[in-house]
Structure 1
Amino acid sequence: MSLREEARTWLEDSLSGEFAGARGLGGPGREHEGHEVRLAWERHLGRHRWTCLGWPERFGGRAASIDDQVAFHEEYARADAPARVGLIGEGLIGPTILQCGTDEQKHRFLPPIRRGEELWCQGYSEPEAGSDLANVRTRARLEGGEWVITGQKVWTSLAHLADWCFVLCRTEEGSRRHHGLSYLLVPMRRPGIEVRPIVQLTGTSEFNEVFFDGARTAAGNILGAPGDGWRVAMTTLGHERGVSTLGQQIGFRRELAKVVETAKRTGAAEDPVLRDRIVRAWLELEIMRLNALRTLRPDPGPEASIAKLYWSEWHRRLGELAQAVQGRSGLVTDGDGGLGELQRLYLFSRADTIYAGSSEIQRNIIAERTLGLPR
């Protein structure tokens, strides 16, 4: 049996029993839904070795090929399985620790990620350093065998639920830009850390502000050498655009199908301009998949920015199309002020071109690092 067939059978069995009610829970703008059952699901995945498929077997993975990882993510999305709560651990910090961490760090941090026992968040963006990541001002100094951290991070996804945060901060006094940065692993449930949720357009709060006021982490909780944080941070960003994007595209396809269904119901499909936009959206989604398959590799390079730029701009346009096909009904909420599925798509997709690297920054990366153009 192929891994795709094994995954399809297992998902169907698992989502028909104890976790039948978990189907479809979570996702953009709905991250508050069913956290406890989704956490239990994450641990269920871990017990049956369906997390961290590409990791080496000695760390609990299956050493699965890129093709098999893609197959799993596609089957996961097709099964309408719940949004993962351990995605940042598995998809970002886990591969970074595998690539840049010491043996001691691998044995400490990787098993709890794979089992779904420790959740992570990403401490990159700051009020003065969002897309300009090299301008971070959060600082850390060594004191008595610990790093002492002071500063602020913002737009920190799921920080209110996380056990750990990987924090890019400045550890060399007087350093500038890419120099003097370090990549620290910081426990979140300690004194000196305050998390403040940010209410988004959807009315939910996936993103947060995080304040560090003398927060501490052990001296050994640093990936790479002091001052080597930029290289490690870029390693993480490369993994952020990996195989899970193929599963994401299945979700996009489901959203597009909802847009088409709504256009037929409202009569918007008879409008030649809107019909042309729907066809273009379908064609561009096919291009997105083909480009993702063409560029996937275990160690993604700067060309991964092409994928991020493409899907985020496409998804924003899909949100606008979703509003257009609804007509006037798309402008009002229900009697309780709740959002419909397509309204939520429109509002949340406004953030897609900003988080995980804004479109402007992605264009710079593509120009300088992929095309070799001057700064």
Structure 2
Amino acid sequence: MLQINTDNRINRDYGPPPEFRPGPVVSLAEVLAVLRFTRRHVPIISLTCCAALCISILYLIIAVPTFTAKAQLLVNSKLAMVDASAVSTVVESQIAIIKSESIATAVIEKLDLAQDPEFATGQFSSTISRLLGWSKPKSEASAARYALEPFERKLSAKRVGPTFLIEVTFESKNPDRAAEILNALVERYITHQMDNAGLQDAKWVKDRLNELSVQALAAQKALENYRKDGNELADSAATIEKLTAAAESTKNTYDSFRHVVRKTEATQQQTSPVFEASLVAGAFPPLKASWPRARIVLGISALGGLLLGVAIGVLRDLLDRGIYASGQEPRLSAQDGGIIERPVPDAVRPDLQSEASAKARAVRFTGSG
């Protein structure tokens, strides 16, 4: 009779059963050891926690609060971009423009931040350098450069998710000052984008077009006036020819410049995106300080005090074990009454107990006088 070994087929199809590995188990002895450690070092841990909390409370009282103003910008591109990496590149490039040195310098000059004590860093070192002759006297340009570093440190800009929104923040000790600086920076950024949106917005292009237009109109008007008043002169034909050539030349120059401007604008719109920045939410003076936060400071100090107390307790236990393992205990000296270290045997054999006790009785205290 044919029999099929189903067990072998199952083992062959599914493989051997997985090996059972028990997880880590905390024994009762370990728990008791932790409890005994905690009970022994409760005074030290409590003392370190209280000291850390006192230091944190003192810091909260002394520390100058910092206020953070926030604003949101929307950056739109006129070119349709379906690639997420291209969109990210566009937004990151605008963030770099917001945090650029040119924008910061313009805001510092507009609000005169170089004279603000919050931004005038390095005054003491620069004064010593000038007294020693190591540097030149401080000018307005150098003062603005000194204010640039703290300004950039207080400024922050980041992208809001996978969108064209940019959140800009600025920190200051004065909430009204923080909102004022941030609004000035946003205004400067939008103005910068509008000035560079295209050649049609450039001031020099408009001025040049107006200048050429005035010249063309003046030449044409001179020609018309001469034709009315200069017909009886002998050289009227030659003069009219010169005026006609001047009028045609100025008109051709004006038309050529307009053609070049339009062609350049069309080329720029096809090769590079044109951005439009708009303000979504302006900056308002913050109602509460962004730092220090009492809960965070107290929580960190309490955790630090607890860890410090545990570390001190572990160190004490290690030192005690080292002393006990060395086999030495403090004894009083017979000569000067001081404390000396004498080795103590770990165990005494039964046949030597009487001799050891006799030696122990022989040791006695005597006065030095």
TM class, shorter-chain normalised?
under 0.3
TM-score, reference length from structure 1? 0.20
Larger Rg: 2
Higher RCO, Cα 8 Å, sep 6+ = 2
